[in-house]
A = this chain, B = another copy of it.
Amino acid sequence: MKQSFISVSPESHFPIQNLPYGIFQPKGSATRAGVAIGEYVLDLSALDEAGLLDGTGITHGKTFHEPSLNAFMALGKPVWKAVRERLQHLLNAETPVLRDDEALRTRAFFPLHEVKMKLPAEIGDYTDFYASKEHATNVGTMFRSKENALMPNWTHLPVGYHGRASSVVPSGTAVRRPLGQRKPKDSDTPVFGPSIQLDFELEIGWLIGPGNAQGEPVPIGEAENHVFGLVLVNDWSARDIQAWEYVPLGPFLAKNFATSISPWVVPLEALEPFREKGPAQEPVPFPYLQQRHPGGFNIQLKVDLTCDDGETICVTETNFKHMYWSIAQQIAHHTITGCNMRPGDLHASGTISGPEPHERGSMLEITWRGAEPVTLQSGKTRSWVEDGDTVTMSGWCEGDGFKIGFGEVSGTVLPAYSEAHILGEKQEGIRT
């Protein structure tokens, strides 16, 4: 087994087998690219300056000095592979060049808890899929009916929609409860105010590189060449706003106030040992969606809800392997019209729910739209996420004595603004 000269606990998410990429900012310095190893971040701009990344295909003084990974993502798989091999070599316990250079080590390693993590990419477009059959069935049952739960198109194509890129935020960013319209069950007309059904959605996302030219679909056999790496995604959702607005053009305001992602991007290559076949697909998809090798990944996932009083409860434990549509199928479908992908685009899987009740990936499903609230030790209950609550998602693959982890994505809910704040002192235009 590979070992690094950096000591890494077996419980760590970031052994030498992982080496996820991120954008970080040391106190008082510029943002730059790094990889996580154990309790440290290794500064890639410092390695580049020391000449240790020469010959990998990156642009010296540039690729890893930028405030996003977009330029690196644009370089494509051969460069990603070369850099990853170089880093695994440099970090290996047997390799002296970095291990024995104390000055360089001091410049290049930062304790994780001392740096600020940023968004890993400048996200051009964000697309959210709906690839869990269990999730689509659960939601369809609640929003429509059991008979009408899964639409006729669902087993023929990976349903998806365009999300909002501007409001994607890194883990740790507080999320303000949105205002909006909702229609109470017993009313014919909507009311306006703070959402009272604020929810999370547990998802896996992937960042795109290098992408395709407009008009040129990505064949499914090449689709994974455009996957730079994976992150955890919390696609915050206001269910009451969603139920009122979503017909006929889909979710809009219910989703666009915030989407949180984990800051460390796990390379697809690190996940190869955990690849497995997804659920059987019946009917057999069209040729453009037929993937010849297993397209699923065994990634364990969980969601913790920490209430405003500090008590934490695990509300779901599930696995990415349950997803019906694979990453490659989703990319092939998204581009079949010629839609172009650019480096830094984000796709997300849609809520990951498994077949068992404890494997549901949203409060909507966990509490069955509030009918079966979660009860904490304190006696408090939660049907939805309340003000002051923190949602923390984590994910990892279980290797032989090590984990390939995603770290976590978390966010705390701030109370909504009052209507007066929106219409009042700030709205000078309306007074004239």
Contact = CB atoms under 8 A, between A and B. Distances in A.
Nearest to A217: B422
Contact of A244 (B153, B224, B249, B292): B153
A166 to B, nearest CB: 5
Contacts of A422: 217, 219, 288, 336
A294 interface: no
A384 interface: no
Contacts of A250: 161, 246, 248-251
Given A250-B248, A417-B217, A162 B160 contact: no
A345 B176 CA distance: 22
Interface residues of A, number: 83
Contacts of A214: 166-167, 169, 257-258
A337 interface: yes
Nearest to A188: B152
Interface stretch (A52-60, A178-186, A354-362, A365-373): A178-186
Nearest to A292: B430
Interface string A159-193: 11111111101000000101111010000011010
Contacts of A222: 426-429
A96 to B, nearest CB: 39
Contact of A249 (B159, B178, B287): B159
A334 interface: yes
A66 interface: no
A345 B164 CA distance: 11
A427 to B, nearest CB: 4
Contacts of A192: 286-288
A238 B428 contact: no
Number of copies: 2
A322 interface: no
Contacts of A426: 219, 222
A419 B287 contact: yes
A313 interface: no
Nearest to A258: B214
B156 A189 contact: yes
B337 A179 contact: yes
Contact of A153 (B160, B219, B245): B245
Contacts of A220: 427, 429-430
A384 to B, nearest CB: 16
A5 interface: no
A171 to B, nearest CB: 15
Contact of A164 (B125, B169, B219, B427): B125
Given A165-B125, A221-B427, A336-B422, A249 B181 contact: no
A333 interface: yes
A144 B169 CA distance: 38
A286 B417 CA distance: 16
Contact of A337 (B219, B241, B290): B241
A143 interface: yes
A388 interface: no
A97 interface: no
A174 to B, nearest CB: 8
A411 B219 CA distance: 26
Given A180-B337, A220-B430, A221-B432, 13 more contacts: A124-B165, A153-B181, A161-B161, A161-B249, A166-B345, A167-B214, A178-B338, A180-B336, A219-B429, A223-B429, A248-B250, A253-B333, A257-B338
Interface of A: 124-125, 130, 140, 143-144, 151-153, 156-157, 159-167, 169, 176, 178-181, 183, 189-190, 192, 214-215, 217, 219-225, 238, 241, 244-253, 256-258, 283, 286-288, 290, 292, 333-334, 336-342, 345, 414, 417, 419, 422-423, 426-432
19 contacts: A151-B247, A153-B245, A153-B247, A156-B181, A156-B190, A159-B245, A162-B162, A166-B345, A167-B214, A179-B337, A180-B336, A217-B422, A219-B427, A219-B429, A222-B426, A253-B336, A256-B334, A287-B423, A292-B429
